[in-house]
Amino acid sequence: MSAEPSKFVSQWRGLRFLQLLLFIVAALLLFPFLARFRIAVLAIQILILNGILVAISATRRGATRRLLIGACVGDIALEAISRWVPAEGLPLVADAASAIVLALCVTVILAHVFRSSEITADTILAAIVAYLFLAIAFSRAFVIVESVSPTSFDLRAGVNAEFELLYFSFITIATLGYGDVVPRLPTAQIVAMLEAVIGQFYVAVLIAWLVSVHAGGRGRGR
């Protein structure tokens, strides 16, 4: 009887980052449609919950798991309260909580990547998921900045602001810079610069490390 649950857990561990990656891609593709019905935030909350479950499975520290669970519960509670209680400032607190939870997921997942002694599909998918989560976390930060100072970004008229800032975050972390969404005020510019620098270091340092470990593994196998 006990072999079945352990077999299921083992199979899930092998697919955890793949399913999370597919979930992220699906959520991004559906975001414009969901934003029309104002349920995009719900999709983000489900995405965060999925990320928390994966991050919990990627760490062996009980304290880290408790921190992740507590942060997730707090984020969901704040989001629910901000939707039902018309109190000024609560939506900002809820967005900040989402950004913090996403940052925690990125930290735990990257710790899992750097603990890996060999490069596997699981390791590569984990690195990709952390990169995407980082962009989503910065998008929540941009939403907070725009909410505090509504002229922080030059946003296109008639387009959902949260989608615009999510799009801008991914463009910024990839350092593409199309110029259709532009940070105007200093705070927005500083956060955008920080994301661009982190995005560049992420690719340069993490990818270089993955390649070096992979090359070292191949060398030992000969």
Q: What residues form DSSP beta bridges with 183?
A: 153
Measure the CA angle with vertex 93, ends 90 and 98; round to 5°. Answer: 130
Q: Is the pLDDT of residue 190 over 90?
A: yes
User: Apex CA 131: angle with CA 219 and CA 69, to 5°?
Assistant: 110
The domain segmentation of the chain, as residue ranges, is: 3-221
Per-residue pLDDT averaged across 187-211, rounded? 89
Question: Percent of the chain, pLDDT > 70?
Answer: 88
Once rounded to an integer, what is the mean pLDDT over residues 50-58?
91
User: In this predicted model, what pLDDT tens digit does every residue of 139-182 receive, in sequence order?
Assistant: 999 999 999 998 899 988 777 888 899 999 999 999 888 888 99
Mention every residue, 6+ apart, whose C-beta is less than 8 A from residue 119: 210, 213, 214, 217
Report the C-alpha gap between 85 and 145 in whole angstroms. 22
Are 45 and 99 in contact by the 8 Å Cβ rule? The answer is no
- Domain 3-221, CATH: 1.10.287.70
Predicted confidence at residue 119, as pLDDT, reads 80
What is the pLDDT at residue 1? 44
Q: Give the Å distances, CA to CA, from 135 to 12, 25, 31, 38, 192.
A: 25, 13, 15, 21, 11
